[in-house]
Amino acid sequence: MSRILLKNGEVVSSKGTLKIDVLIEDGKIVGFPENEEVEGAEVVDCMDKLILPGVIDPHVHFRDPGATYKEDFESGSRAAVSGGVTTVLDMPNNEPPTTSRKALDAKRALVNGRSFANYGFYIGFDGGNLEEVNEAENIPGVKVYVANSTGDMGVSQENLEELFEKSNKLIVVHAEDEGIIEKNKKKFDGELVAEMHSKIRSPEAAAKAVKYVCELARKYKRPVHIAHVSTEAEVDIIEEYKEDGVTCEVTPHHLHLTEDDYEQWKNFIKVNPPVRSRMEVFSLWKALKTGVIDIIDTDHAPHSLEEKEAGYLDAPAGIPGVEMLLPIFLNTVSSEGLTISELVRLVCERPAEIFGIPNKGRIMEGYDADLVIVDMEIEKKVERKDLLSKAGWSPYEGLMLKGWPIMTIVDGEIVYKDGKVEGQPIGKEVVF
């Protein structure tokens, strides 16, 4: 039996912080002993440290199967746990796409025994696989692309409506309007550079698709989760549909990068939906504070350095981020942009609620021992040499961040400590 006692730390929840010891046994949080010794327990001194629930990132692209030179489940999950992320939900735009029960089972077999983090898999909707979607078991939801993005999984409006009418799963939507994007592409003939991406996949394209999807949610009374909002218009629309069960997420890059960053980063920050203006970013921060935005997750979309160095049309869209999520926002806590309790709500508690992940996202008796220990005093620069994702780059390189995870525990086992991922890939598929 494994037994760990986290002593002298401060436990964080959305309600506040509490100085209390945490006892872990056989993968579960079993109690909060008060100044007691516990026989046979490995003691971890957490004096002056915070203990957070393990971060849940419900939007990653680990490229396994299909493009494992960009990332595979082992490298992606190493990166995750090094950043305090203990559960990831992986998107279906693989090769082959995860759009059938057979493909889901093949992915399960492929990933089994290779992940350091716990994980779940979405099924993708391709317009013609409603039965597969409805009969798929143990998934967090069905992912649908309203416009084409990496993987070209865009579906027609008729098919989308059919999904809302007949599916029995949480619908997770990449919402951009293909018609507006195509029209804009024609307008911007001539030399295309990275900056154009934000004009082609315009704020109007995002807002139009979000409005359409919210209307479907209301009409068919279906819960829907809107991925990666990037504009004030989307947030304003979503606010009106909160009572219809509409939830949404925002990424670190949409909160930290703007169109001004194209000058430095060119196609490295080409992403769908694109980075926006400073004003849009400001409004996203506001929506985060007021609670219209439910969660922060990464849309971790690794592409290689060579691919990102290509010209505008050839460079693939996507930004890696899973290992930087917690450090980036701990730094925000240090600079008082967010409180630590708000952060725990945004990256632990709400993701578990929205995606129906039982026994995770909180530090409570009987819950899974997925935890991260944080030192808010460590200041460290983000450097390429320290990154574990196969992408091998980050748009946050060079930033000095205050507040870093120092230990990650998955299912009661220490998997990251002293700057190193250690032990075996013991991650398990989440039971939804």
* Contact residues: ligand DOR, CB under 6 A: 61, 93, 149-150, 174, 271-272, 301, 316-318
DSSP-assigned letters across all residues of 15-47: TEEEE--EEEETTEEEE--SS---TTPEEEE-T
Residue 244 binds what, of ligand DOR, Zn ion, none (CB under 5 to 8 Å, by partner type)? none
Catalytic residue of the set 244, 294, 299, 370: 299
What is the Cα–Cα distance from 46 to 414, expressed in whole angstroms? 14
3-state SS, residue 3: strand
Q: Which is nearer to ligand DOR, 140 or 412 (CB)?
A: 140
CB of 8 to ligand DOR, least distance (A): 42
Q: Which is nearer to Zn ion, 144 or 292 (CB)?
A: 144
Q: Which residues of 4-14 are buried (b: 16+ CB within 10 A; e: fewer)?
A: bbbbbbbbbbb
3-state SS, residue 354: helix
CA distances from 96 to 64, 93, 149, 316 (A): 10, 8, 15, 18
Residue 201 binds what, of Zn ion, ligand DOR, none (CB under 5 to 8 Å, by partner type)? none
Q: Which is nearer to ligand DOR, 63 or 211 (CB)?
A: 63
CB of 91 to ligand DOR, least distance (A): 7
Residue 230 binds what, of ligand DOR, Zn ion, none (CB under 5 to 8 Å, by partner type)? none
CB of 307 to ligand DOR, least distance (A): 10
- Closest CB to Zn ion: residue number: 299
Q: Which is nearer to ligand DOR, 307 or 368 (CB)?
A: 307
* DSSP code, position 325: H
Kindly list the residues in this chain that would bind Zn ion in the complex (CB under 5 A): 299
Q: Which is nearer to Zn ion, 71 or 299 (CB)?
A: 299
CB of 280 to ligand DOR, least distance (A): 17
Residue 149 binds what, of ligand DOR, Zn ion, none (CB under 5 to 8 Å, by partner type)? ligand DOR
Q: Decide if 90 contacts 121 (C-beta within 8 A).
A: yes
Q: Decide if 146 contacts 213 (C-beta within 8 A).
A: yes
Q: Which is nearer to ligand DOR, 71 or 294 (CB)?
A: 71
What is the Cα–Cα distance from 283 to 289, expressed in whole angstroms? 10
The answer to whether the Cα torsion of 24, 26, 30, 35 is positive or negative is negative
Nearest CA among 17, 84, 22, 42 for reference residue 328: 84
CB of 323 to Zn ion, least distance (A): 16
Residue 271 binds what, of Zn ion, ligand DOR, none (CB under 5 to 8 Å, by partner type)? ligand DOR
What is the Cα–Cα distance from 56 to 353, expressed in whole angstroms? 11
Q: Which is nearer to Zn ion, 78 or 174 (CB)?
A: 174
Residue 407 binds what, of Zn ion, ligand DOR, none (CB under 5 to 8 Å, by partner type)? none
3-state SS, residue 83: coil
DSSP-assigned letters across all residues of 92-123: S--SS-S-SHHHHHHHHHHHTT--SSEEEEPE
CB of 376 to ligand DOR, least distance (A): 32
Residue 150 binds what, of Zn ion, ligand DOR, none (CB under 5 to 8 Å, by partner type)? ligand DOR
- Closest CB to ligand DOR: residue number: 318
Establish whether 299 is a catalytic residue: yes
CB of 235 to Zn ion, least distance (A): 19
What is the Cα–Cα distance from 422 to 100, expressed in whole angstroms? 34
DSSP H helices in 375-417: none
Active site members: 299
